[in-house]
């Protein structure tokens, strides 16, 4: 798998330095290829560097981060954006989500936890690759697609490397390696990610109780689920649902 | 006549005592009114003296008679000027327009005072009583009319932009001035100018300058000061702290970086004031950030949590725990040199069905004698407490008021003493629908 090319956009040099030097890009198969300090510079850099990922503050000079995303979407549909903002405000978040950004993280950035964000990006890129592959037979042949499809279909159950090994008659070690090579993330990170995505979908589109959502997303104990959810989304499941309801009620 | 002047003097003297003993802001308007009160009191004294001297022309030497008369008329001109000045400042405060008529008013004041001191005085002697007439008297009337016209002119040109209450005060004052001056001009022996002046002063006092209004102004000013103080842009705060944190981490100082991270967490959570209710988890998270910082500052301080995990999603009023814990630290554990423990527990209440109880218990110095009763009385009479702007009880009183407002009168905060020393704050809250 080739390395992800990352562009850092923030008007503060210290924030960019922090990202560059405090996050272990190497370990996440990434490479910082450029930096920009304002919206205009960001647009130019995106055009010349064609990065896979842009990590960007909303509140930057000349053009806002949201504007940069809008303008570069057309020419660079595959570039992923992660918004970093000090404004703990859901209205920004909503606007950003409308532009189909990959993730929205709040300052102060916890560099140890930023890895989850990169993992999520890799998983969504992988899923897009699968969907874009036009020959269905070719898709079938690849072991990884079978594995991920199985995981997705059995979310609510106990899924582990050993279960997969038994089901597909493969070595657990080999499956683990397959996830790393094909998607770029470990099996557990993948599992957590799709469980969370499923839980978020259930929270927003159904009125199931938190305990039921937890169960359908593969968490027997809803307290474990709440903790995991809080860690990945920054808010508790009930808060997540309430924020969404509040914001859709407002407008 | 003399008796009326004495009565008026006493009434205004009483007003002056009340006025000067009340706290007030030092604005040009209030300063003008203070001067006016003093000048009116002096004027009434001279009024009384002249009422006596003018009717005893034979016994009182002419020089004394003239001197008191000139002082009497002089203070009256000054009062007319101050009335005008008061109205002008009021209009300026209301509309923001500069006082362009002021130079003219001052120049005229100088001329009028000069005229008062220099023009010859003539006394008319009648069976109903004596009074002064002639050029000196006419000059005095002219001054009153001049300032009257300036004042009413200002009022009428800015009619729509002045608050109704203030219009009423100025209107009443002008009307009284008009009627009294006219009556006095028709019959010179009535000598009712003192009464008119007293009425005008009273009108201003009762409508615009009474102690309640002064106090409200003071409170408003303090509140807006407090409000302005809290206007730090949070974005600036996070970003600056974050910059420092990253620098610390780049320097390899992860302890400092962690502390700054907690500080940012605390600020980020505590500025969510727009949301009246938050989940208990959020409230605990804020408290953890606060206590971690405090425990770092005072390493002998310990903090224990005993939270029923089932209650994590229960809605609680925003920002109620931190003020109570802060209170425990400042009034209990500080006296022990911050050696001790704060224990925070949240459980379904055993005594009250459908309720949860959050208890904040400390091992501090406990209540002073009678303090527990005083605090619990203050908390149970929360609605009657005047909004205090200082003092340590403002925090917990505020918590109490918000709980009562958001959850209902059955819930709230109370304090008990621990057997082994220290105090416990009990917060009784309804069990929300999300706490299953």
Mean pLDDT of chain B: 84
CA A6, CA B349: separation in Å to the nearest integer?
Answer: 53
CATH number, domain with residue A77 = 3.40.50.2300
- Is A17 close to B250, i.e. CB distance below 8 A? yes
User: In this complex, which of A108, A109, A236 lies closest to B312 when CB atoms are compared?
Assistant: A236
CB B350 within 8 A of CB B415: no
Chain B residues closer than 8 Å to A209 by CB: 436
Range of the domain at B222: 2-226
Last residue of a domain, which of B184, B204, B226? B226
- Determine the pLDDT at residue B40: 92
Confidence of residue A138 (pLDDT cuts 50, 70, 90): low
Q: Do B129 and B189 meet the contact criterion of CB atoms below 8 Å apart?
A: yes
Is residue B161 over pLDDT 60?
A: yes
A21-52 residue pLDDT tens? 888 888 888 899 999 999 999 999 999 999 99
Query: How much is the mean pLDDT over chain A?
Result: 82
Q: Which of chain A's residues have a Cβ under 8 Å away from the Cβ of B312?
A: 223, 226, 236
Taking CA–CA distances from B258, the nearest residue in chain A reads A110
- The nearest CA of chain B is from the CA of A236 a distance in Å of 8
Q: Which domain holds residue A165?
A: 135-251
Q: What gap in Å lies between CA B427 and CA B290, rounded to an integer?
A: 19
The residue length of chain A stands at: 251
Instruction: Chain B: give the shortest CA distance to residue A245, in Å.
Output: 14
ipTM over 0.90: no
Whether residue A96 has pLDDT greater than 80: no
Residue B351, domain CATH: 3.30.565.10
Q: What is the pLDDT of residues A151-164, one digit of tens each?
A: 878 877 778 887 88
Determine, yes or no, domain membership for B89: yes
CATH code of residue A151: 1.10.10.60
Residue B415 β-bridge partners: B425
Contacts of B267 in chain A (CB under 8 A): none
Q: What is the pTM of this model?
A: 0.58
Average pLDDT rounded to a whole number, residues B15-35:
86
Out of A110, A111, A226, closest to residue B312 by CB? A226
Residue B100 is part of a domain; what is its CATH number?
Answer: 1.20.1070.10
As a whole number of angstroms, the distance between CA A235 and CA B275 comes to 15
pLDDT at B313: 76
Enumerate the residues of chain A whose CB falls inside 8 A of the CB of residue B249.
18, 22, 111
Q: Total structural domains in chain B?
A: 2
Neighbour tally for B265: CB within 10 Å: 18
A106 touches chain B (CB under 8 A): yes
Residues of A in contact with B264 (CB under 8 A): 107-108
* A15:B234 CB<8 A: no
> Each residue of B283-321: pLDDT tens digit?
888 899 899 999 998 999 999 998 887 787 788 988 889
Residues B43 and B160 both lie in one domain: yes
pLDDT in tens, A64-79: 888 899 899 888 888 8
Q: Answer yes or no: do A20 and A61 share one domain.
A: yes
Q: Tell me what the mean pLDDT of segment B70-96 comes to.
A: 88
Chain A: residue whose CA lies nearest to B434: A238
**Whether residues A151 and A86 fall in one domain:** no
Q: d(Cα B193, Cα B329) in Å, to the nearest integer?
A: 65
Per-residue pLDDT for B434 more than 50? no
Shared domain for B335 and B425, answered yes or no, is yes
Pair A41, A141 in one domain: no
Tell me the pLDDT tens digit for each residue of B91-102: 888 887 788 888
Q: Which long-range contacts (CB under 8 A, 24 or more apart) does B27-36 make?
A: B27/B93, B28/B89, B29/B86, B29/B89, B29/B90, B29/B93, B30/B209, B30/B214, B32/B82, B32/B85, B32/B86, B32/B89, B33/B86, B33/B204, B33/B205, B33/B208, B33/B209, B35/B82, B36/B79, B36/B82, B36/B83, B36/B86, B36/B201, B36/B204
State the pLDDT at residue A250: 55
B357 and B213, same structural domain?
Answer: no
Interface test with B, best of A11, A13, A14, A15 (most B CBs within 10 A): A14
End of a domain among A120, A154, A187? A120
How do residues B345-378 score in pLDDT, each as one tens digit?
Answer: 999 988 888 899 999 999 988 887 778 888 888 8
Q: How many CB pairs under 8 A join A and B?
A: 64
CA distance A180 to chain B (A): 30
Does B272 reach chain A within 8 Å, measured CB to CB?
A: yes
Looking at the structure of chain A, the number of domains it has is 2
């Amino acid at each position: 798998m080739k390395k992800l090319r990352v562009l850092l956009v923030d008007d503060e040099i210290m924030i960019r330095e922090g990202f560059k030097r405090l996050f272990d890009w190497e370990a996440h198969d990434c490479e910082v290829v450029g930096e920009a300090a304002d919206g205009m510079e960001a647009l130019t850099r995106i055009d010349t560097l064609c990065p896979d990922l842009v990590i960007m503050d909303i509140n930057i000079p000349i053009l806002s981060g949201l504007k940069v995303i809008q303008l570069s979407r057309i020419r660079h549909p595959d570039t992923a954006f992660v918004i970093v903002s000090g404004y703990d405000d859901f209205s920004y978040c909503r606007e950003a989500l409308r532009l189909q950004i990959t993730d929205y993280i709040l300052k102060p950035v916890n560099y140890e936890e930023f890895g989850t964000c990169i993992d999520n990006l890799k998983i969504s890129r992988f899923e897009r690759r699968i969907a874009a592959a036009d020959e269905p037979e070719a898709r079938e042949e690849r072991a990884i697609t079978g594995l991920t499809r199985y995981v997705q279909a059995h979310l609510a159950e106990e899924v582990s490397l050993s279960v997969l090994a038994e089901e597909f008659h493969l070595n657990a070690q080999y499956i683990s390696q397959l996830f790393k090579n094909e998607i770029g993330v470990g099996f557990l990170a993948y599992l957590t990610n799709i469980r969370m995505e499923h839980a978020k979908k259930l929270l927003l589109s159904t009125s199931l109780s938190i305990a039921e959502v937890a169960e359908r997303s593969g968490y027997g104990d809803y307290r474990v689920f709440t903790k995991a959810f809080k860690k990945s989304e920054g808010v508790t499941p009930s808060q997540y649902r309430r924020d969404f309801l509040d914001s859709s009620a407002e407008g | 006549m003399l008796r009326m002047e004495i009565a008026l003097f006493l009434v205004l003297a009483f007003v002056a005592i009340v006025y000067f003993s009340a706290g007030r802001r030092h604005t040009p308007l209030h300063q003008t009114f203070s001067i006016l009160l003093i000048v009116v009191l002096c004027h009434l004294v001279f009024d009384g003296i002249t009422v006596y001297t003018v009717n005893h022309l034979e016994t009182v030497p002419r020089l004394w008679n003239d001197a008191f008369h000139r002082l009497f008329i002089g203070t009256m001109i000054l009062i007319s000027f101050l009335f005008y000045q008061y109205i002008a400042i009021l209009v300026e405060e209301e509309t923001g327009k500069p006082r362009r008529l002021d130079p003219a008013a001052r120049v005229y004041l100088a001329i009028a005072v000069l005229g008062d001191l220099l023009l010859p005085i003539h006394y008319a002697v009648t069976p109903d009583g004596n009074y002064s007439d002639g050029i000196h008297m006419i000059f005095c009337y002219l001054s009153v009319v001049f300032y009257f016209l300036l004042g009413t002119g200002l009022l009428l040109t800015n009619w729509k932009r002045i608050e109704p209450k203030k219009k009423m005060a100025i209107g009443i004052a002008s009307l009284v001035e008009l009627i009294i001056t006219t009556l006095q001009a028709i019959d010179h022996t009535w000598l009712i100018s003192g009464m008119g002046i007293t009425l005008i002063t009273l009108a201003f006092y009762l409508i615009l300058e009474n102690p309640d209004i002064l106090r409200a102004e003071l409170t408003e000013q303090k509140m807006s000061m407090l409000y302005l103080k809290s206007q730090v842009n949070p974005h600036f705060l996070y970003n600056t702290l974050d910059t420092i944190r990253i620098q610390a981490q780049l320097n390899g100082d992860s302890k400092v970086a962690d502390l700054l991270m907690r500080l940012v967490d605390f600020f980020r959570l505590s500025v969510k004031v727009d949301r009246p209710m938050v989940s208990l988890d959020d409230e605990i998270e804020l408290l953890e950030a606060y206590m971690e910082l405090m425990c770092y500052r005072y390493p002998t301080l310990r903090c224990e949590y005993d939270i029923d995990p089932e209650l994590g999603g229960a809605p609680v009023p925003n920002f109620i725990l931190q003020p109570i814990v802060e209170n425990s630290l400042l009034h209990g554990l500080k006296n022990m040199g911050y050696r001790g423990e704060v224990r925070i527990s949240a459980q379904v209440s055993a005594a009250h069905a459908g309720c949860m109880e959050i208890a904040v218990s400390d091992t501090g110095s406990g209540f002073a004698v009678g303090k527990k009763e005083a605090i619990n009385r203050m908390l149970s009479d929360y609605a009657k407490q005047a909004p205090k702007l200082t003092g340590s009880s403002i925090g917990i009183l505020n918590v109490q008021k918000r709980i009562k407002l958001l959850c209902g009168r059955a819930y709230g905060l109370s304090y008990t003493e621990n057997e082994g020393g220290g105090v416990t704050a009990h917060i009784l809250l309804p069990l929300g629908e999300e706490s299953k």
